[in-house]
Amino acid sequence: MPSRDGPPDAFGSPYRLLSTAVTPRPIGWISSRSEAGVDNLAPYSFFNVVAVDPPVVMFAPVGSGELKDTPRNVRETEQFVVNTVTRDLVEEMNATSATLGPSESEFDAVGIERAASVAVDPPRVAAAKVAFECELYDWIEVGGSVLILGEVVHAHVDESVLTDGLVDIENLDTVGRLSGSQYASTAERFSIDRPS
Ligand SMILES: Cc1cc2nc3c(=O)[nH]c(=O)nc-3n(C[C@H](O)[C@H](O)[C@H](O)COP(=O)(O)O)c2cc1C
């Protein structure tokens, strides 16, 4: 089959190439609190698990210029919460991606109910089925972007997604981000056995 080769910017832009081919991406819906006490909430799909011992997750605000509110808050307070995005929350999640000033809270602007966290100051999204309270583990600058690593110090899991005390994927319709404004539901599933 013929293929086309080239540097990453030969395919529109590195962002276009990477964000379309690396799909579906999980979405970390990150709540943070500014030093001034404003609760911020924004989705980040450059998001994943990095380690399990210690349990560490990462997300990456991209772009050059001024820091977005989330990384600025995390740099100031060294805390954040990752809320999972399920199909029922996707409209609210999307609404929180609007660019608001640092003195405005997406929780209030979008009408999202907060729930108090246990181990960190920023609140979690009350309706999120799973939320991870994180302490900043590391902050790595990559060009104009930042790779933010957070150690999960406390987890909140809604009873409705548990089976025998474990999170059950059958009960958790997490959403993945595709390209641009396209998303994938994870409700359609299949299994294959791993080789031994
Ligand atoms: C589903 C989704 C995923 C996103 N993922 C990222 C991301 O990984 N990195 C990023 O810098 N911006 C991402 N954005 C854009 C930010 O959410 C947007 O810039 C937001 O205004 C940042 O808010 P903040 O300044 O309150 O942190 C995403 C937007 C959406 C809708």
Nearest-angstrom CA–CA distance, 182 and 121: 33
pTM of the model: 0.97
Token digits of residue 117: 């966290």
φ, ψ for residue 140 (rounded to 5)?
A: -120, 120
Do residues 24 and 156 touch, judged by C-beta distance below 8 A?
Answer: no
Residue 63 has pLDDT above 90, yes or no: no
Nearest CA to ligand 1 atom 6: 44
- Cα of 97 to ligand 1 centre, how many Å? 6
Residue 157 has pLDDT above 90, yes or no: yes
Nearest CA to ligand 1 atom 27: 70
pLDDT tens profile 172-188: 999 999 999 999 999 99
φ, ψ for residue 103 (rounded to 5)?
A: -90, 0
Count how many residues are written for the chain.
196
Nearest CA to ligand 1 atom 26: 69
Return the closest-CA partner of residue 104 out of 160, 39, 43, 52: 39
Nearest CA to ligand 1 atom 23: 42
State how far the alpha carbon of 106 is from the alpha carbons of 78, 138, 190, in Å: 20, 25, 36
Residue 49 has pLDDT above 90, yes or no: yes
Report pLDDT for 64.
80
Report pLDDT for 44.
98
Report pLDDT for 83.
98
63 vs 160, more confident: 160
**Which residues are within 8 A (CB) of 50 and not within 5 positions of it... i.e. 6 or more apart?**
56, 57, 58, 149
- Cα of 9 to ligand 1 centre, how many Å? 22
Confidence of residue 1 (pLDDT cuts 50, 70, 90): confident
Average pLDDT over the chain reads 97
CA 73 to chain centre: 15
| Stretch 155-170: mean pLDDT | 97
Provide residues with CB under 6 Å of ligand 1.
Answer: 27, 40, 42-46, 60-63, 68-70, 94, 97, 99, 177
- Cα of 94 to ligand 1 centre, how many Å? 9
Do residues 157 and 179 touch, judged by C-beta distance below 8 A?
Answer: no
φ, ψ for residue 25 (rounded to 5)?
A: -100, 135
Report pLDDT for 65.
85
Confidence of residue 85 (pLDDT cuts 50, 70, 90): very high
Confidence of residue 42 (pLDDT cuts 50, 70, 90): very high
**R_g of the chain, CA atoms, integer Å:** 17
Do residues 30 and 59 touch, judged by C-beta distance below 8 A?
Answer: yes
Report pLDDT for 11.
94
Residue from 45, 76, 84, 91 to probe ligand 1 pocket by mutation (most atoms less than 8 Å from CB)? 45
- Cα of 5 to ligand 1 centre, how many Å? 30
Report pLDDT for 6.
95
pLDDT tens profile 104-153: 999 999 999 999 999 999 999 999 999 999 999 999 999 999 999 999 99
